[in-house]
Amino acid sequence: MANDEVFFKWSPDYSVNIKTIDDQHQELVNILNRLFVAVSKREGDLAIAGILDALVSYTQTHFALEERLMRQAKYKDLEPHIAEHKKLLAELDQLAKKHMLEEKTIYFEMLTFLKTWLKEHINGVDTKYSAALQEVGFSVDVWEREATAEFAAMSNSKKWWELWKAA
């Protein structure tokens, strides 16, 4: 892979037409790209662990906010969506644990898995709930304000966030 090639290039096709959600998805892509660079350049376990931590925390918060949005909108397929989120977090946890026992190649396996999962999740179930919310005329404004405030608080209170931003 050429040096200037981006591991996971964001495309407008991934938009779910809710700005806050798109921004969060793009940030997840950014963290994945950062992790890819750290792994490729062998930046060391500490740097990689910091980025991995940021990825897990950001994903957890993003999922929680997204689930709240669907709950507020009384979205009918909320439960299976939550199940997908839970499964991903469990798999991420397993991959991280597996890395402790094995060699570095696990990172590339993890990166490819996460990239595929995120693409399919956004283009699949995320697009579905967004379309359903818009169809019933649900206004996302209040949720977007709350989500923005929550993210700001999270960014200020977590050291890993600085670590990831500074990297």
Give the number of residues in contact with Fe ion, rule: CB under 5 A: 2
Smallest distance, Fe ion to C-beta of residue 20, A: 13
Smallest distance, Fe ion to C-beta of residue 64, A: 11
Helix (H) or strand (E) holding 88: helix 78-101
Residue 58: CB atoms within 10 A of its CB come to 22
Q: Distance between CA 120 and CA 23 in Å, rounded?
A: 17
Q: Distance between CA 153 and CA 149 in Å, rounded?
A: 6
Stretch that binds Fe ion, among 17-25, 87-95, 104-112, 123-131 (CB under 5 A): 123-131
CB 99 within 8 A of CB 110: yes
Best CA proximity match to 17, nearest among 121, 148, 134:
134
For Fe ion, the closer of residues 58 and 107 by Cβ is 58
For Fe ion, the closer of residues 23 and 43 by Cβ is 23
**Contacts (CB under 5 A) with Fe ion, residues 9-68:** 66
Smallest distance, Fe ion to C-beta of residue 38, A: 25
Stretch that binds Fe ion, among 90-98, 124-132, 143-151, 153-161 (CB under 5 A): 124-132
Q: Distance between CA 45 and CA 65 in Å, rounded?
A: 30
Binding residues for Fe ion, rule: CB under 5 A, are: 66, 126
